[in-house]
Structure 1
Amino acid sequence: MVTARRGVPEVDAIVVGSGPNGLAAAVTLARAGFSVRVYEKSAGVGGGAATAELTLPGFHHDVCSAVHPLALASEFFQRFGLADRIELAIPEVSYGHPLPGGTAGLAYRSLTRTVAELGRDGAAWQRLFAPLVAHAEQVAQFTGAQLLRLPKHPVTALRFGLRSLEQGSPLWGLRFSGEAAPALLSGVSAHTIRSMPSIVTAGAGLTLATYAHAGGWPIPVGGSGAIVTALVDDLLAHGGEIVTSTEVRRLSELPPARVVMLDLTPRALLRLAEGELPGAYARRLRAFRYGNGVAKVDFALSGPVPWQAAGVRAAGTVHVGGTRAQIRRAENTVARGGHAEEPYVLVSQPSGTDPSRAPAGQHTLWAYTHVPRGSTIDQTEAIVRQIERYAPGFRDTILASAGRTATEMEQLNPNYVGGDISAGEVSLTQLVRRPVLSTDPWRTPLSGVYLCSSSTPPGPGVHGLAGWYAALSALRHDLGVRTAPDLSPTNQK
C-alpha cells in the first residue's frame, strides 16, 4: 500500500501543486512548525492565480482568475491577513450588466445606491439582499463550509436556502418586473457554468452578489500573482521550500514524508496512486464528473472599452450577455454541448483600477466565455463580436490578443480538465460529494495522503479554504496538532 510514511521522513509535509489551495495548505503546515516542500510542474508558481505578459510587452494579464470576491470573505484569507499584505483595489461598481438599447444594470458596493437605480425593482432587490448583506460574514461561513456539516447560523442559512430555491426554479421571474434586476442576478449566477435556472447557479449568484454589496470585489494591484507572492513569501519565511519545473508522476517517486497534500484532481490522484487505492474509493473517484469549460482571450487595448452605457465603464467586472432570457439561452446551449451564437462573456478591465497593468493610456482586458468541455474552437471572434454589441468601436481598440481554447486551458493547468476551471462539475450532488461523501473528504484512504484542490469542499474560487481545511485535517490526524496555527502577518519568525 502506498502511504506518505516511507522510511525516515526527509520532510514533514510535501505539497504537490502550487495553486492557491496548495500554497494555503503549505503555509498552514509551515506555520504549525513543520518542514514543508512544494513541488510544482510548471516553471512558475500559482496555477491559475498568476500574472504574465501574454500579449505585448508591458501588458500584464491574469492567467486565469482576475477579480477576487472571496479575497475579503474567505476565512483563510482573513486569518492570513491578505488585505494587510497586498494592495487591493475595490471598484465602486462591483459588476455591471449592459443591456440592449444602451442601458445597463449596475451593482454598486452600496446596496442603497443599487436599489435606488433599479427603479421599480429596487424594493425587490432590497428585500432579496438586505438580510444577506447584513449577515455577509455568516453567509461566507455557510457557503465556505462543507455542506454535510450543520450551519453555525441556521437562520441565515435558511434565508439563503429559500432565496436559492426561488431563484433556482421556474419561479425566478416572479420577484422582478423590469429587465435590469433579473439580468444583473443572472449575469452573476452564470459564473457557475451550468444550465439555468438551477439551485446551484442561484446559490452562487446570491453569494457573489452579497459580497459585491458587503465589501466589494477586489482586484489585486499588480495582478492575481500578488496573492501568490504573499503566500510564497510567508511560506519561505517559515522555512518552507518550493521546487518548480518538477512533475510528480507517481506517489512512490516522492521522498519520505509524514503527510502528502495534493492540489490535484481525483483523476490525477488515481494516476499517481498506481492502483493502490481501495476499490470502492477508486470507483467513486472515477465517477467524479467534470463540467463544461471556458475559452479565454486576453486583449491589449489602445484605450478603455467604449461601453455604450457610461456607468459600465466604472465596473470592475462586466457580464456581457443581454437579458436574463438571452443568458439562459446561451448557458443552456453550452449545457447541451453546443457553442452559443451570442455567448455569455465575463469581462474585466483591471487596468481601469490598476494602471500598473498597462503602458500609460492603454489597457488590458480579460475575457472568457463558456464552451462545452474539451472544445477546440477558438472563441476570440465570438467574444469580440459580443462585446462590440454593447461597446461599438471596441474592435478598433484592439492592439493584440491571445486566446486559449478549452483544451489549451487544460494544457496550461491539468486541473482544468477539458477546460473546466472549477476542477469538477458544480452540481448540488457534487457540492455534497466532492469528491466523496464524507465528513472529512480531504482525507484519502492512503495513510497521510490528502486532496486539497477545488475538487474538494468548498469547491472553486481563489479562497485557499480547501487547502486550509485539508491541512487542518492532516494536523489533527497525522501530525498530532489539534489547534489551528496563527496565520496573521504579525506572527512572523
Structure 2
Amino acid sequence: MTAAGSYDAVVIGGGHNGLVAALYLARAGWSVAVLERNATVGGAIASGEVTLPGFVHDLYSTNQNVFLGSRTYADFGSDLSRHGLRFHTTDHPYANAFPDGLSLRVYSDYERTIGQLAKRNSGDAEGFAGLYQQYKQFAPHLFGLYGSAVPSSAAVRQVLNLLRHHGLGGARELTHTLLMSTRELGSTWFTTREARAMAACWGMHLDFGPDVAGGAMFPLLEMFADMENGISVVEGGARRLPQALAAVLAENGGEVHTGAEVDRVLCSNGRAVGVRCADGITLTARRAVIANVGPPALYQQLLESDQVPAEVRRKSCGYLYGPGTMMLHLALDGPLPWAAGSELAGFGYVHVAPYVDDLARTYTESQAGLLPVEPLLVVGQTSAVDPTRAPAGRHVVWIQIRTMPSVIRGDAAGTIRHTSWPDAVEPMTDRVLTKLEHYAPGTRSRIVGTTAYTPQDLESANPNLVGGDSVAGSHHLAQNFFFRPMSGHSGYRTAIPGLYLTGAATWPGAGNNATSGRLTARQVLKDVRLRGWASRSARCRWTAGPRPTYMAPEDRRAPRNS
C-alpha cells in the first residue's frame, strides 16, 4: 500500500535497477519512493519454495556474477552484507553435455580447462587459448564500455583507450569478432562441433540464435568471465538481493511501497510531475519520475497519447521482444546422474543442446510459433553451488528452456496438439524431462517435486517480460548499443522532460548488472544540477563554489569500470 505524498523522485517498478537508481538518489540526499505492483520487490530476481518445503529455488535469474562485479556492489557491498546478502561461488562454472556420455568442462583453473580440451582435440585447446588471449586484450575496454552510458564522453574515452592501446588493427580485429554470429565465432576458433556448441549456447541465453549477426559478444565475455570468476548464487535464495537493496535504501531515507501499481504518469506543462496509482492515490515528483518498464508500456500505457510525440509513439510500437522462455524447477532426492560422470553434477551450469544445428532449428521453430523438438536446456545445479538450498542429501535444479514460442501455433515434432500454454505445459515438461533423461539416465526416479513456468507465467509475474522474453527486449544490433531502446532514444532520458527510463530495455540491456539503474540516477542528478546552474545563470546569480549536495556520488571520484 502507498499513501499520497511529495518526493524528489518517484520510481515505477521495484526491480533491481529501479532499486539501485533510488538508492543512489537517496544517498545523494533526495527523498525517493519506489512503487512496486507485486507483493515483493525484485522483478526477475526472485526465489521461493515452489516444489516442496525446504527446497529454495531461484524462480528466474540465478547467476549473479555481473552484480558481484558491478560498481553498485563496490559502492554498497558492505551495507548489503549487513542485511544478509552473501554469495556462494563454484570453481566448476559450466560444462556442456553431449550424447554417448561425452562432455566439455570449463573450470576456474585455466590450465585444467586447457588440459581437458587438449585431451580431446588439440585444435579446440589452441582455439580456446587464442580466444582467451583476445578476451584478455579487449575485456577491460568492453567492460568499460558496458559500464558507461551510450552515447557519452565516458564511452568515447573507452574507444579512445582501445585505439591507444591496440591501434586501428586491434580495433578492427575486435569489431570483426563482435559482429560475428555465434556459429561464425565457433567455426573461426574451434575444430569440433562440441566446442563450437559450447560457444553458441551462450548466445541463446539472450536472443542470439547461431546465425544472428552480433551474437558473438556475449559468449566472448561470458565464457571467460565465468571461467575466471566462477558462477555465483545468492546464499539462501536470489530474493535476498533485492531485499537487501530495499533495506539499504530505507537506511538512506528511501521508501518502498509494494502492492502499488502505477497506471499513469502525470504531466503538467509538458513535464512529468508525478504518478497515479491504480487505487487512485497520486504521488508528486518534484524533480524526476523514473520508469523501470519497457518503451511500449511507458509510451502506450502510462502516458496519455497527446503527451507523446507521434514519432516516439510509433517507434515504441516497434520495440521488439525476443522468443519466450520456459522455466522448470526440480526437487531431487539426489544429484543428477549424468552419463558423462558424477563430477558433472558439481558444475553451476550444464548446457544440453547438443549441437549448433540443433540450436539453430530450435531458434527458428520458436520464432515461427512452434514448440521446438530439441530446446536448449540450461541446467542450473543450484544446490551444488549453495548447499543451503535443499535438505541434506537432496538437491534443487533450475532449468531454463530456450527458446520457446510466446504464442503456440503448432508443434515442430507433431505430437503436442495443444496451442494454449496452460494445456501445453505438461506435455512440454515431459519432452524436456525425456531429453534430460537421455543425458542423465535415472533423473525421473530422483524427482520428488516439479514446478513449471510458461512464457505466459513469466509475463504475468513481471509485465516487462513480454511474451515470456526473459531478457525484456531483443538485443539484436538494430536494438542495441546506440539504438537501445530504439533509434533516436538512447540513454535514459525520455521524450518527456523530467521522465526517465531504466532497466533492461535500456543500455546495457539484460542481466543483473545494476548498471542501468546507476547510470539513470547519474543522468538525473546531472540534469538537475545543470538546470540549477542554468536557472541561477539566467538570474545573473551564478558564482563559483562547491557543487550542490545532490551531485552524483560517482562525480566525486575518478571513474571506475563496472
2:193 aligned residue (165, 179, 197): 179
Which is worse superposed, 74-83 or 437-446? 74-83
2:316 is aligned with 1:294: no
- Matched residues in 2 for 1:365 and 1:128: separation? 31
- Matched residues in 2 for 1:84 and 1:122: separation? 40
1:263 aligns with 292
Within-5 A mapping of 1:151-300: 151-152=158-159, 153-154=161-162, 155=166, 159-168=173-182, 170=184, 172-252=186-266, 253=276, 254-257=282-285, 258-270=287-299, 271-275=301-305, 276-300=307-331
| Aligned-partner residue type, residue 304 of structure 2 | E
CA deviation string 1:306-342 (max 9, x = no partner): 1111232221011111123322322232233322111
| Aligned-partner residue type, residue 165 of structure 1 | L
How far off its partner does 1:246 sit? Answer: 1.2
CA deviation string 1:228-278 (max 9, x = no partner): 122112101100111111111111314111211111111211201121112
Q: Are 1:142 and 1:157, in contact at CA under 8 Å, matched by a contact in 2?
A: no
SS for the counterpart of 2:331 is strand
Q: Are 2:330 and 2:396, in contact at CA under 8 Å, matched by a contact in 1?
A: yes
- Matched residues in 2 for 1:334 and 1:419: separation? 12
1:374 aligns with 407
SS for the counterpart of 2:189 is coil
1:425 aligns with 474
1:394 aligns with 443
Q: Are 1:102 and 1:309, in contact at CA under 8 Å, matched by a contact in 2?
A: yes
How far off its partner does 1:438 sit? Answer: 4.5
CA deviation string 1:285-311 (max 9, x = no partner): 111111111011111111111111123
Identity of aligned residues (%): 31
- Matched residues in 1 for 2:171 and 2:514: separation? 22
Q: Are 1:72 and 1:83, in contact at CA under 8 Å, matched by a contact in 2?
A: no
CA deviation string 1:118-142 (max 9, x = no partner): 1111111000112314654433223
- Matched residues in 2 for 1:169 and 1:298: separation? 30
Which is worse superposed, 41-50 or 174-183? 174-183
Q: Which is bigger in relative contact order (C-alpha 8 A, separation at least 6)? A: 1
| Aligned-partner residue type, residue 19 of structure 1 | G
SS for the counterpart of 1:13 is strand
2:540 aligns with none
- Change in Cα spacing, 1:236 to 1:84, as seen in structure 2 (3 Å) is closer
- Matched residues in 2 for 1:467 and 1:236: separation? 17
SS for the counterpart of 2:94 is strand
Q: Are 1:73 and 1:211, in contact at CA under 8 Å, matched by a contact in 2?
A: no
2:46 is aligned with 1:14: no
1:407 aligns with 456
1:29 aligned residue (20, 25, 31): 25
- Matched residues in 2 for 1:418 and 1:449: separation? 26
| Aligned-partner residue type, residue 263 of structure 1 | N
2:130 is aligned with 1:127: yes
- Change in Cα spacing, 1:84 to 1:441, as seen in structure 2 (3 Å) is closer
- Change in Cα spacing, 1:216 to 1:171, as seen in structure 2 (3 Å) is closer
Q: TM (normalized to structure 1)?
A: 0.91
Aligned residues: 481
Q: Are 1:88 and 1:221, in contact at CA under 8 Å, matched by a contact in 2?
A: yes
SS for the counterpart of 1:447 is coil
SS for the counterpart of 2:348 is strand
| Aligned-partner residue type, residue 552 of structure 2 | T
- Matched residues in 2 for 1:106 and 1:245: separation? 44
SS for the counterpart of 2:95 is strand
Q: TM (normalized to structure 2)?
A: 0.81
Q: Are 1:299 and 1:366, in contact at CA under 8 Å, matched by a contact in 2?
A: yes
Q: Are 2:183 and 2:196, in contact at CA under 8 Å, matched by a contact in 1?
A: no
1:484 aligns with 553
Larger gyration radius, structure 1 or structure 2: 2
2:119 is aligned with 1:50: no
SS for the counterpart of 2:365 is helix
How far off its partner does 1:210 sit? Answer: 2.3
Gaps of 5+ in 1: 1-7, 489-493
Q: Are 1:440 and 1:473, in contact at CA under 8 Å, matched by a contact in 2?
A: no
